[in-house]
Amino acid sequence: MSWAQAILLARGLSRGWGGICGTALTGAPFSQLPPQSPRALHCSSATHNSDSSLVPRPPEPLRKPAKALAPHEELFMQAPDGARDKASFVRAVQNFGQHNVHKRGHVDFIYLALRKMREYGVERDLAVYHLLLDVFPKEVFRPRSVFQKIFIHYPRQQECGIAVLEQMENYGLMPNKETEFLLIQIFGRKSYPMLKFVRMQLWFSRFKNINPFPVPRDLPQDPVDLARLGLRHMEPDLSARVTVYQMPSSKDSIDTADPTEPHIVGIQSPDQQAALARHNPARPIFVEGPFSLWLRNKCVYYHILRADLLPPEEREVEEIPEEWNLYYPMQLDLDYGRSGWDDYQFDINEVEEGPIFAMCMAGAHDQATLAKWIQGLQETNPALAQIPVVFRLAASTGELLASSGLEEPSPPPPEEQEEEEDDPQRQQRGQS
């Protein structure tokens, strides 16, 4: 018996004996006494069976409350017309500083603003990032002693400052002198956000123009201009010519028979035209695709006109003069002393593919649309009329889905008509 049970039992017995003694003093017989049992015996009757009755029961599981808004979420909903632009975003940040003079909860507000920047279209605006850094209290998080410099002084605030700089880095924004001034005023020179700023200044200046094939930041919205940009980006020959075979027609047009004709844009270089003119008409060529090409956050699809690789016995070895050879002189008769451990073989993986004669981007990926491209190529390539064309069309691979935040057009419909020629005349030529 535990000490708690003993105390309760003693208290009940004392109260019972006290009632009996009081009745005896008044002269009442014991038979007239009401049958009264100690209270503690009734209250602690279950304690004799198990000691677990003294442990309180666990509370019933509460229902999940409705999802509440994030802190300071209402500041971004105060726009009168519900517009989500730079002006409304700047107004929300300014309202936080006006209504919260002591800037309590500024870390949560900055994290929320970083998530909202893409919705308002200000993720590439350097002035908006400076406005967010200005939300931090000044001269508060700067280390004052050596120990504060060694250990992370105000770690949560420093992590929030690094998050602002990392988002600037993800969108390719170069920090400037104003960014440095704000970081020094908020965290001081001996801080981790300042270290992040110095590293960004170092590596951004080195890698800013390292891409030999840069893509403009603002991509054209017109599909024809976007197709021209994508084809120029893939074609290494600067003498290649871009041709628009068909412009997209408006949906409200009445004159045309098909009001939704897609655009067709192709590219071909003079070397490709010469290779197509030398192609053997007995061997077919293929239209393959679509293949995906990403231009920043937009995905476009293209098709190629190619041929199979010639067998080794039919290949013509082109002799290159020695003065044109990049590896001139081609042979060196030098006797170097080599040991048995020297490796004379190099592992070079060379994959030979067939020639590519042309490329195109179209608004539709069906055989009828690509047949118009082949008809347009025949005007500049007369030999193409004597060569059978086989369509090898497949569905899109669908990599990098739209859940990652990137804009991807709807994948082209699958094509089951493989190895079909564009018209009956070419079928007859292939059979002959």
Question: What is the dihedral angle through the alpha carbons of 88, 93, 97, 99, rounded to the nearest 10 degrees?
Answer: 50
pLDDT of residue 283: 92
Calculate ∠ Cα 26-32-38, nearest 5°: 90
Query: Which DSSP string corresponds to 104-160?
Result: TTHHHHHHHHHHHHHHHT-TT-HHHHHHHHTTSPSSSSS--SHHHHHS-SSHHHHHH
DSSP string, 25-64: HHT--GGGS-----HHHHHTGGGGT-GGGGSPPPPPPPPP
Degrees to nearest 5, angle at CA 317 with 314 and 322: 180
| Under-50 pLDDT residues of the chain | 20-21, 23-53, 252-257, 259, 397-432
User: For residues 219 and 159, what is the distance between their CA atoms, to the nearest angstrom?
Assistant: 33
CB-based burial label for 367 (10 Å; 0-12, 13-18, 19+):
middle
pLDDT at 203: 92
Rounded to whole angstroms, the Cα distance separating 341 from 381 reads: 55
What integer pLDDT is reported at residue 335 of this predicted model?
A: 60
* Whole-Å CA distances, 166 to 114, 130, 171, 199, 349: 11, 14, 9, 11, 38
Tokens 């994948």 belong to residue = 411
- The pLDDT, as a whole number, for residue 401 is 35
Radius of gyration, CA atoms only, the chain: 41
273 in helix, strand or coil?
helix
Residue type present at position 19: G
Task: Compute the distance between CA of residue 2 and CA of residue 10 in angstroms, rounded to an integer.
Answer: 12
* Short-list 146, 60, 72, CA closest to 114: 72
Please answer whether residues 158 and 191 qualify as being in contact, where contact means their C-beta atoms are separated by less than 8 angstroms: yes
Give the global pTM: 0.61
310-to-299, 354, 376, 393 alpha-carbon distances in Å: 33, 7, 26, 22
CB contact set of 432 (below 8 Å; sequence gap of 6+): none
Instruction: Give percent helix, percent strand, percent coil of the chain, each to the nearest 5.
Output: 45, 10, 45
Please report the pLDDT score of residue 344 as a whole number: 61
> Cβ distance 289 to 303 under 8 Å?
yes
- Which tokens go with 413? 């419909």
